[in-house]
Amino acid sequence: MNQYELQLDFDGDILRLPEQFRNRRGLAKIILITNESEEPVKRKRPTFSSLTIDTTKFKFNREEANER
């Protein structure tokens, strides 16, 4: 049995492991120690703004598109 010490950020129920541990199989014991004195990191929800594309000068040739 090997022992590793990692410092990870987690968001609720998601704990992201480093790449070197992702494809391993077997039993793992995890001890979670949090530092309650620090303020939790507040994550922003992604915002999506609308995208406007001017297609007035675009010519669509169905035959040419089907040739590809």
Domain range spanning residue 22? Answer: 1-35
Classify residue 57: in a domain, yes or no.
no
Between the ranges 1-10, 23-32, 55-64, where is the mean pLDDT highest? 55-64
pLDDT at residue 33 above 80?
no
Q: In a 10 Å sphere around its CB, with 0-12 CB exposed, 13-18 middle and 19+ buried, how is residue 30 labelled?
A: exposed
Classify residue 47: in a domain, yes or no.
no
Classify residue 19: in a domain, yes or no.
yes
Average pLDDT over residues 34-55: 79
Classify residue 31: in a domain, yes or no.
yes
Classify residue 51: in a domain, yes or no.
no
Q: What is the DSSP letter of 47?
A: -
Structure token pair of residue 31: 């001890």
| Number of folded domains that form the chain | 1
Tell which wins on pLDDT, 68 or 59. 59
